[in-house]
Amino acid sequence: MEKTIDESKQGERLILEPKVNNTRKLFIESYGCAMNFSDSEIVASILSEQGFNTTQSLEDADLVLVNTCSIRDKAEQTVRKRLEKYNAVKRINPKMKVGVLGCMAERLKTKFLEEEKIVDLVVGPDAYKDLPNLLAEVDEGRDAINVILSKEETYGDIAPVRLNTNGVTAFVSITRGCDNMCTFCVVPFTRGRERSRDPQSIIEEVNDLWNKGYKEITLLGQNVDSYLWYGGGLKKDFIKASDIQKATAVNFAQLLELCAKAQPKMRIRFSTSNPQDLTLDVIETMAKFDNICKHIHLPVQSGSNRILKEMNRLHTREEYFELIDNIRRIIPNCAISQDLIAGFPTETEQDHQDTLSLMDYVKYNFGYMFTYSERPGTLAERKMEDDVPEDTKKRRLAEIVQRQREHSEVRTKEYLDSIVEVLIERQSKKSDAQWSGRTSQNIVAVFPKEHYNIGDLVKVKVTDCTSATLIGVAIEN
């Protein structure tokens, strides 16, 4: 029988199928981080109870929702452009309603309604359960807004509608918000305080995904390593918890172990780790279970101690190296990836060189690299001048990207002639005769399809590579 939200017990979070009786059409698209994509699945679920099924066609939609990102100015500009596109469609279909979700909604609040005439609805990341009420207002011709942030909301009881799914990999959100207050980052303002989701509901979701044929999950949080369940509530209030709560609390290493044991054949990934919160017991748990993928995304942002301090990253370059050494000692085959920012305020040429030399030490497998973008309301915006000229930022970024390209090439070459295990996710973009999937280390691998299928875990002999992709042939298990 189909599971609906109303029937679901507290803590359960099963996958919801489209409903046959739904008549209204929802077009929902997401920008930014994986959490936004995951949140959109929760929104689609809430709206499926309101008579909406999703559509891939913007022109057909009764309701258009865009889940937005504020992390850099460019991300916000992309959304503004999309709103122009919706405007054009609305001229043909005037009954279409438009809503903005996510971080831009939270950041801009009522300004959105003032600045963008097309927008009927503004909903922040913690207010999605209020969508039915807000839509009722919109249906009556009024603009509607809810941007209240919550101390408890984790949507642990909502069964996501899996959107654009390959049926093999899925996101499972485990924490919301972030308490770290990196001085450049808008996330603590748009997503609120850090809170963790009940481990029982996480395990139930993992079990349900396995039963539906999924083969890999990624546990999601802005800062997964600070996951802490002691019965609900803010992370910072743990000190006030009772002795029983403290004794039975579940931390991230324990949650990983629970997931790995619940479904020993399910591949488990997690993202994102903050170096200051990634503890040895997490690394040891990763080593202990074959089904926990050997990849850590470990953003460092800068290689300069002075800049790290200005960024309020609570570790030094030396402590980061120690962590890298520990990862390599405990999990010799672990891939490590980075996020880096070029041109943070006051960054000198020497600071930039420190970033390059840090990269040389780690030799990351891959990374995501950005120029600094000043975000309104952050501590860096209020206290520091955005004083690195744009062309200097761009030149430093280009040097960082070039260095990463060299390191990626070295790293992928290490896999030549070895045998890797690949989970097939989709057809290769370059050839319809090839499958594409990822190794445990999160490296993309392509190989001839032969008799294999999407969702198969296949041993592949690596015969060639580009800087980012392994090329090989499947060998019989």
Does 36 contact ligand F3S by CB under 6 A? Answer: no
Nearer to ligand SAH, 157 or 386 (CB): 386
Nearer to ligand SAH, 227 or 370 (CB): 370
Residue 188 binding: pick among ligand SAH, ligand F3S, none (C-beta 5-8 Å cut-off by kind): ligand F3S
Nearer to ligand SAH, 53 or 373 (CB): 373
Does 302 contact ligand SAH by CB under 6 A? Answer: no
Give me the residues paired with residue 439 across strands.
Answer: 422
How many residues bind ligand F3S (CB under 6 A)? The answer is 10
Site string for ligand F3S, 200-239 (x = CB under 6 A): ----------------------xx----------------
Closest separation in Å from C-beta 142 to ligand F3S: 34
Which residues 18-37 are close enough to bind ligand SAH by CB under 6 A?
Answer: 33
Does 372 contact ligand SAH by CB under 6 A? Answer: yes
Site string for ligand F3S, 175-194 (x = CB under 6 A): ---x-xxx--x-xx------
Q: What is the 3-state secondary structure (H, E, C) of the chain?
A: CCCCCCCCCCCCCCCCCCCCCCCEEEEEEECCCHHHHHHHHHHHHHHHCCCEEECCCHHHCCEEEEEECCCCHHHHHHHHHHHHHHHHHHHHCCCCEEEEEEHHHHHHCHHHHHHCCCCCEEECCCCHHHHHHHHHHHHCCCCEEECCCCCCCCCCCCCCCCCCCCCCEEEEECEECCCCCCCCCCHHHHHCCCEECCHHHHHHHHHHHHHCCCCEEEEECCCHHHCEECCCCEHHHHHHCCHHHHHCCEEHHHHHHHHHHHCCCCEEEEECCCCCCCCHHHHHHHHHCCCECCEEECCCECCCHHHHHHCCCCCCHHHHHHHHHHHHHHCCCCEEEEEEEECCCCCCHHHHHHHHHHHHHHCCCEEEEEECCCCCCCHHHHHCCCCCCHHHHHHHHHHHHHHHHHHHHHHHHCCCCCEEEEEEEEECCCCCCEEEEEECCCCEEEEECCCCCCCCEEEEEEEEECCCEEEEEECCC
Helix axes 349-362, 390-413, angle to 10 degrees: 10
Closest separation in Å from C-beta 20 to ligand F3S: 40
- Token pair listed for 171: 């996101």
Residue 439 binding: pick among ligand F3S, ligand SAH, none (C-beta 5-8 Å cut-off by kind): none
Closest separation in Å from C-beta 178 to ligand F3S: 3
Residue from 193, 375, 407, 411 binding ligand SAH (CB under 6 A): 375
Residue 370 binding: pick among ligand SAH, ligand F3S, none (C-beta 5-8 Å cut-off by kind): ligand SAH
How many residues bind ligand SAH (CB under 6 A)? The answer is 17
Closest separation in Å from C-beta 471 to ligand F3S: 34
Closest separation in Å from C-beta 374 to ligand SAH: 7
Closest separation in Å from C-beta 451 to ligand SAH: 38
Residue 71 binding: pick among ligand F3S, ligand SAH, none (C-beta 5-8 Å cut-off by kind): ligand SAH
Of the candidate spans 14-22, 128-136, 174-182, 423-431, the one that interacts with ligand F3S by CB under 6 A turns out to be 174-182
Parallel, antiparallel, or unpaired: how do β-strands 457-465 and 469-474 relate?
Answer: antiparallel
Which residues 262-291 are close enough to bind ligand F3S by CB under 6 A?
Answer: 274
User: Which of 390, 385, 379, 393 has the alpha carbon at shortest distance from 187?
Assistant: 379
Is 69 in contact with 104 (CB distance < 8 Å)?
Answer: yes
Closest separation in Å from C-beta 341 to ligand SAH: 5
Closest separation in Å from C-beta 373 to ligand SAH: 4
Closest separation in Å from C-beta 391 to ligand SAH: 17
User: Which of 422, 446, 449, 451 has the alpha carbon at shortest distance from 436?
Assistant: 446
Closest separation in Å from C-beta 10 to ligand SAH: 27
Q: What is d(CA 423, CA 419) in angstroms, rounded to the nearest whole number? A: 13
Residue from 54, 67, 223, 441 binding ligand SAH (CB under 6 A): 223
Residue from 27, 155, 184, 189 binding ligand SAH (CB under 6 A): 184
The rounded radius of gyration (Å) of the Cα atoms in the chain is 23
Does 125 contact ligand SAH by CB under 6 A? Answer: no
Give me the residues paired with residue 267 across strands.
Answer: 216
Residue 173 binding: pick among ligand SAH, ligand F3S, none (C-beta 5-8 Å cut-off by kind): none
Closest separation in Å from C-beta 222 to ligand F3S: 4
Residue 241 CB neighbours (<10 A): 16
Of the candidate spans 112-120, 153-161, 184-192, 210-218, the one that interacts with ligand SAH by CB under 6 A turns out to be 184-192
Residues near ligand SAH, by CB under 6 A: 33, 71-72, 184-185, 187, 222-223, 272, 299, 301, 339, 341, 370, 372-373, 375
Q: Which residues bind ligand F3S (CB under 6 A)?
A: 178, 180-182, 185, 187-188, 222-223, 274
